[in-house]
Every structure is written in structure tokens, then in C-alpha cells.
């Protein structure tokens, strides 16, 4: 059809001298302004006869030599003309047609004719309107969405490629391109990575057209990915984030702890004792973040936050990694302690470093003595080693967290403890001795008592014995007197 137009224009033009025929390709994004060029090289002072028309739609604008103008009625919208030819450009021989707020139906063949005395300039312009659209205006994360690039009329043989956030988007597996007569479609699964500005770039006969649209995906935006790792140290508080898109209030929000080794099965046990789900009234309705007040080492593992949005269950898995410091006293080195930085999952940790944290009177923290490595050996007795020691662990992207150990407190306790031990030992030994003596005395008393009891069992015998002995004594006395 376009060629036919050109042919017709060419025929008309050939009747008059100096005619040319050339098709200019113009791409315009729907809603923008399209500029259809029409230039005359002649610089005659006389006002030319200009006519712009669209194939099948008749005259758009006509200006007679006398200056009389005619505007096609179909180009005004509520009394406002969508088309114009800026007067200011006429003296340079530029009679370009400007179309504001172009629509899909504006696509097609336009022609411009400038008749200046004996010279007639014919210009044919092909206007192609581009639109990028999505099958769902705001898709929910994980749902399929197709991105469509419409070009009206479609340039057969054109090259098409996509840009996502200004970098080339290379379709991967699961993304299909479907080329039919008027559009190109890319099917993708809505993920956070695919949000942003989608641009369709069409190249055709040396000119290029672009159209863009922004895809915003709704769902759980924080954390953006599954299996996000959260680091916490034993005894500290930990936050488990779970934030849905603004104004996306999930129904039936649930937090679960997953069975070790399983990605989906909730653990039969309950959530940790210090776990508290979102319930603060200050929290926004789409923020379902939870927290642990005081993390214990056994709280490590996978947690799942889920909620229902538009009939679809959305969930996010978060891994809580707990850090602690194990201390051990080597048998041969008295007074020293070996500290080991332990993490429930150290797979992302590339570096450990130990720092000595001190606080001045104002409570300002300062950090000194840095040693690399997972373990640290220090002497507990020395004054300068007292205070807080922190093990900082970091991964590829920087510091992941830290866990602290207090030496001053520990060495103090140890001193007291060991002294306490010696006191106790002395006391125990003393008491045992006393008890032993007491027992001996008791045993002696018992023995005496028993003997006496045996004698008292025979009181008559005792009397006889007594009388006999008395008589014997008297006889002996009498004998002595004699
Ligand atoms: C504590 O703060 C005060 C004022 O803020 C300052 O003058 C003083 O030097 C600080 N003391 C120490 C030990 O840093
Ligand atoms: C340890 O982590 C806490 C919380 O992130 C931070 O405030 C503190 O400065 C860190 N301590 C050290 C020694 O890096």
C-alpha cells in the first residue's frame, strides 16, 4: 500500500518537473509527539502551496498561496488541534507536521506536497506507532507476565531487541519470543529482578524506534530473595524481615520454623520462646516482620513468612545464623584463654577478625588490636586484655556481623572462683576432722554406756560381790589390828 501511495505520488509528481519520491521512516511512541519531516530546498520568496494528507484519511492541512488554511476536522480533540505546522519554520523551507499525543491509529502513510512555482516537492512519510505493554498491570511475584512490543504498522524484516533498565535483556530459558504480524511478545515469570524499565528497540532501514514501559511487581519486597541470611549473636535481638509491597495487605500471615534440611516442611516444634510475630500497632499492615528478643544458639535455622494476596499464597524463607564464642582454657598455659568464633552456618564467611573494644568515660567506643583468624589466644590476667573482645565475621560483600566476649568479667569471676575453692576445701577438711573427733567421742561414750548397762543387769550379783569385798576388807583390817 505504501509503495502504491508512493507510486501514485510519484506519478502525479512526474507530471510536474523536479519531482522526487522517497519514503521516510518515522517511529513514535504512543502518547508522544511525532514529527513528520517535509522540506523544500527552494528559497523562493513567494508563499508556496502546501498540502499534508494521510492515506485513506484525506487532507490534514492545506495552505494556499493566498495564505488561506484548511484543517482536517478529524484531527481536533475537544477543540484542540492535535496537528500543527509551526509557522516559524516556514522561512527555512521546513513544513514538518507535528502530531501531538499520537495513538496507534495514527500509524500509516502520510504525504506532503510543496508546490513552489514550477517546483513540486513530494515527501512520503511512514509513521509507525510503538507501544510496550504488560499482560498484567501490576503482576504478583511469581506469576507469568508477557511483555508486548506493538508497532503499527509492523515493519517486516525489522530487528527487535529488548533493554531492561538500560542494559540489554537477553531472553533466558523460560522466556519465549513470539513473532507475529504486528507485535513481539516476551513471556517471563515476574520476579524482582525483572522490575523496572522495559524498552523495545526496533531497527528498520537505518532508523530506530524505541518505546518503554515500567514493570512493577508486587509481593514480598523485603527481603527480595529467598534464603536470605540474617546473622545474630547469642543473647542479642534479631529481626526477621518480611515486608509486602505498599498497600498489599496479606491475609492469614503466618511465621513458621522449618525442619532442618527441608525447604518447605514446618518443624513440629514451636517457634523459639523469645520469638514475637508482628503485632505492634505502629507497624504498617503490609509489614509482617518478626523479631527474636534474645537469640539462643538452638534458634538457628530456616524460618518462613507467608501470606495470601489475591488468592495466591506468597512466602519467603529466611535463614537465621547464630554466632557465639566458645572459650577454652588450655591445660598447659595457665591464665590464658582461647576464644573461638562459632557460627551455625559459616558457608558465606570468608574472614574472621578479632578486635578489642574499649569504652572511655563518656561511653564512646574505640576499637583496637586487630587479629585475623577464627581463634584468639589471650592472657586473662593481664590488665590490657580486659574488656570486650569482638569477633567480626565478613563475607564477600563486607561485614556480616559480630559477637562479643567480656574478659574482665570472666577473669574476675575465675579469680573469685578459684579462691572460693580453696576456702571451701579448708572448711570441708576442718569440718570432716571435727566430725571424726565427735564420732570417736560418741563411740567411746556409747561403749562406756554399754558396759555399765551390762553390769546393771545383775544388781544382786553386784551386791554380793560388794558384800564379799567389804567383808574381806574388814577381815584384813582386823588381822592388821592383831
Ligand atoms: C567526654 O565528653 C566531654 C564533652 O563532650 C569532653 O570534653 C571530654 O574530653 C570527653 N572525655 C573523654 C574521656 O573522652
Ligand atoms: C557489632 O555490631 C553492632 C551491631 O551491628 C555494632 O553496633 C557494633 O559497632 C559492632 N561492633 C564491632 C566491634 O564491630
In testing the pocket of ligand 2, which one of 359, 390, 399, 405 has its CB within 8 Å of the most ligand atoms? Answer: 390
For residue 31, what is the DSSP state? Answer: T
| Nearest-angstrom CA–CA distance, 284 and 217 | 19
Q: Which one is predicted more confidently, 213 or 189?
A: 213
Check residue 26 and give its pLDDT: 96
> Quick check: CB of 233 below 6 Å from ligand 2?
no
Q: Who contacts 404 (Cβ-Cβ below 8 Å, separation ≥6)?
A: 233, 325, 357, 388, 389, 390, 391
Q: Which atom of ligand 1 is nearest to the CA of 362?
A: 1
Q: How confident is the model at residue 13 (pLDDT cuts 50, 70, 90)?
A: very low
Q: Who contacts 237 (Cβ-Cβ below 8 Å, separation ≥6)?
A: 291, 292, 293, 294, 295
143-147, 312-316, 411-415, 466-470: least confident range: 411-415
Quote helix, strand, coil % in the chain, to nearest 5: 20, 45, 35
Ligand nearest to the CA of 363: 1
| Distance from the alpha carbon of residue 323 to the mean position of ligand 2, in angstroms | 13
Check residue 125 and give its pLDDT: 96
Q: Which one is predicted more confidently, 131 or 145?
A: 131
What is residue 446's three-state secondary structure? helix
pLDDT above 70 (res 475): yes
For residue 48, what is the DSSP state? Answer: P
| Distance from the alpha carbon of residue 363 to the mean position of ligand 2, in angstroms | 14
φ, ψ of residue 305 to 5 degrees: the values are -110, 135
Check residue 30 and give its pLDDT: 96
pLDDT digits (tens, 9 = 90+) for 159-209: 888 999 999 997 764 445 555 557 788 888 888 788 899 999 999 999 999
Check residue 76 and give its pLDDT: 79
| Distance from the alpha carbon of residue 368 to the mean position of ligand 2, in angstroms | 13
pLDDT above 70 (res 252): yes
- Domain extent listing, the chain: 2-128, 135-215, 220-322, 329-406, 425-482
Smallest CA separation from ligand 2 atom 1, residue: 402
| Distance from the alpha carbon of residue 322 to the mean position of ligand 2, in angstroms | 15
Domain 135-215: assigned CATH number: 2.60.40.10
Q: Which atom of ligand 2 is nearest to the CA of 390?
A: 13
User: In CATH, which of 1.20.58.100, 2.60.40.10, 3.20.20.140, 1.10.230.10 is domain 220-322?
Assistant: 2.60.40.10
| Distance from the alpha carbon of residue 389 to the mean position of ligand 2, in angstroms | 11
Cell numbers for 81: 488541534
pLDDT digits (tens, 9 = 90+) for 23-62: 999 999 999 999 999 988 766 667 889 999 999 888 999 9
Check residue 422 and give its pLDDT: 42
Strand partners, 168: 163
Smallest CA separation from ligand 1 atom 1, residue: 362
Q: Who contacts 372 (Cβ-Cβ below 8 Å, separation ≥6)?
A: 351, 352, 353, 354
User: In CATH, which of 3.10.450.40, 2.70.98.30, 1.25.40.390, 2.60.40.10 is domain 329-406?
Assistant: 2.60.40.10
pLDDT digits (tens, 9 = 90+) for 353-411: 999 988 888 888 888 878 999 999 988 777 778 888 999 999 999 999 999 998 754 44
pLDDT above 80 (res 240): yes
Check residue 301 and give its pLDDT: 93
Strand partners, 207: 204
Q: Where are the strands (E) in 301-350, listed by range?
A: 301-309, 312-328, 336-343
Q: Who contacts 213 (Cβ-Cβ below 8 Å, separation ≥6)?
A: 132, 133, 134, 147, 197, 198
| Distance from the alpha carbon of residue 360 to the mean position of ligand 1, in angstroms | 9
Q: Which atom of ligand 1 is nearest to the CA of 361?
A: 13
| Distance from the alpha carbon of residue 23 to the mean position of ligand 2, in angstroms | 68
Is there a common fold for 2-128 and 135-215? yes
pLDDT above 60 (res 412): no
For residue 91, what is the DSSP state? Answer: G
Nearest to 295 by CA among 351, 388, 231: 231
- Inter-CA distances, 321 with 194, 298, 326, 345, Å: 29, 10, 16, 6
Q: How confident is the model at residue 469 (pLDDT cuts 50, 70, 90)?
A: low
Check residue 3 and give its pLDDT: 46
Smallest CA separation from ligand 2 atom 3, residue: 402
φ, ψ of residue 411 to 5 degrees: the values are -65, -40
> Residues with beta carbon inside 6 Å of ligand 1?
360-362, 364
Cell numbers for 33: 509527539
Residues counted in the chain: 482
Smallest CA separation from ligand 2 atom 13, residue: 390
pLDDT digits (tens, 9 = 90+) for 329-353: 887 767 788 999 999 999 999 999 9
Check residue 78 and give its pLDDT: 78
> Thinking of the domain 2-128, which architecture would CATH place it in?
Sandwich (2.60)
> How many other CB atoms are found less than 10 A from the CB of residue 381?
13
93-107, 175-189, 247-261, 290-304: least confident range: 175-189
Cis geometry, peptide bond prior to residue 153 (ω within 30 degrees of 0): yes
The average confidence (pLDDT) of the chain is 82
Ligand nearest to the CA of 403: 2
| Distance from the alpha carbon of residue 402 to the mean position of ligand 2, in angstroms | 6
User: pLDDT exceeding 90 applies to what percent of the chain?
Assistant: 40
| Nearest-angstrom CA–CA distance, 345 and 333 | 31
Spell out the long-range contacts of 150-153 with Cβ–Cβ below 8 A and sequence spacing 24 or more.
150/104, 150/182, 150/183, 151/27, 151/107, 151/182, 151/183, 151/202, 151/209, 152/104, 152/105, 152/107, 152/128, 152/182, 153/107, 153/108, 153/126, 153/128, 153/182
Q: How confident is the model at residue 11 (pLDDT cuts 50, 70, 90)?
A: very low
Smallest CA separation from ligand 1 atom 4, residue: 362
Amino acid at each position: 500500500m505504501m509503495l502504491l501511495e508512493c507510486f501514485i505520488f510519484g506519478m502525479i509528481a512526474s507530471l510536474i518537473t523536479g519531482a522526487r519520491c522517497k519514503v521516510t521512516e518515522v517511529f513514535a511512541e504512543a502518547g508522544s509527539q511525532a514529527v513528520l519531516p517535509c522540506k523544500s530546498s527552494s528559497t523562493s520568496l513567494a508563499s508556496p502551496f502546501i498540502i499534508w494528507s494521510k492515506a485513506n484519511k484525506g487532507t490534514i492541512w492545506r495552505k494556499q498561496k493566498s495564505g488561506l488554511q484548511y484543517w482536517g476536522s478529524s484531527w481536533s480533540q475537544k477543540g484542540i488541534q492535535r496537528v500543527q505546522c509551526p509557522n516559524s519554520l516556514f522561512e527555512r523551507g521546513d513544513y514538518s507536521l507535528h502530531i501531538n499525543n499520537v495513538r496507534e491509529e495514527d500509524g500509516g502513510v502520510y504525504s506532503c506536497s510543496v508546490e513552489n512555482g514550477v517546483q513540486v516537492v513530494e515527501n512520503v512519510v511512514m509513521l509507525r506507532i510503538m507501544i510496550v505493554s504488560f499482560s498484567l498491570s501490576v503482576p504478583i511475584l511469581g506469576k507469568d507476565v508477557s511483555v508486548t512490543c506493538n508497532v503499527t504498522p509492523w515493519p517486516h524484516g525489522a530487528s527487535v531487541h529488548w533493554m531492561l533498565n538500560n542494559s540489554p535483556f537477553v531472553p533466558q530459558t523460560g522466556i519465549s519470543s513470539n513473532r507475529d504480524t504486528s507485535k513481539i511478545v516476551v513471556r517471563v515469570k515476574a520476579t524482582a529482578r525483572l522490575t523496572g524499565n522495559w524498552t523495545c528497540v526496533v531497527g528498520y532501514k537505518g532508523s530506530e524506534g524505541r518505546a518503554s514501559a515500567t514493570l512493577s511487581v508486587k509481593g514480598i519486597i523485603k527481603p527480595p530473595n529467598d534464603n536470605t541470611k540474617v546473622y545474630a549473636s547469642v543473647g542479642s535481638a534479631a529481626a526477621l524481615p518480611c515486608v509486602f509491597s505498599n498497600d498489599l495487605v496479606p491475609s492469614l500471615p503466618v511465621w513458621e520454623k522449618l525442619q532442618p534440611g527441608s525447604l518447605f516442611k514446618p518443624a513440629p516444634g514451636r517457634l523459639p520462646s523469645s520469638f514475637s510475630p508482628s503485632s505492634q500497632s505502629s507497624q504498617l499492615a503490609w509489614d509482617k516482620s518478626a523479631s527474636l528478643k534474645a537469640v539462643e544458639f538452638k534458634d538457628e535455622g530456616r524460618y518462613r513468612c507467608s501470606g495470601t494476596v489475591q488468592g495466591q499464597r506468597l512466602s519467603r524463607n529466611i535463614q537465621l545464623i547464630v554466632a557465639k564464642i566458645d572459650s577454652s582454657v588450655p591445660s598447659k598455659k595457665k591464665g590464658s584463654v582461647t576464644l573461638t568464633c562459632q557460627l551455625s552456618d559459616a558457608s558465606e564467611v570468608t574472614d574472621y577478625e578479632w578486635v578489642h573494644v574499649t569504652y572511655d568515660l563518656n561511653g564512646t567506643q574505640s576499637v583496637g588490636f586487630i587479629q585475623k583468624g577464627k581463634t584468639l589466644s589471650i592472657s586473662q590476667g593481664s590488665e590490657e586484655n580486659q574488656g570486650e573482645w569482638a569477633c567480626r565475621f565478613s563475607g564477600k560483600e563486607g561485614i556480616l556481623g559480630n559477637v562479643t566476649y567480656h574478659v574482665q568479667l570472666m577473669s574476675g569471676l575465675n579469680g573469685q572462683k578459684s579462691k572460693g575453692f580453696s576456702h571451701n576445701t579448708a572448711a570441708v577438711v576442718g569440718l570432716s576432722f571435727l566430725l571424726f573427733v565427735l564420732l570417736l567421742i560418741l563411740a567411746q561414750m556409747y561403749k562406756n554406756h554399754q558396759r555399765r548397762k551390762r553390769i546393771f543387769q545383775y544388781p544382786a550379783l553386784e551386791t554380793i560381790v560388794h558384800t564379799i569385798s567389804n567383808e574381806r576388807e574388814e577381815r584384813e583390817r582386823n588381822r592388821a589390828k592383831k
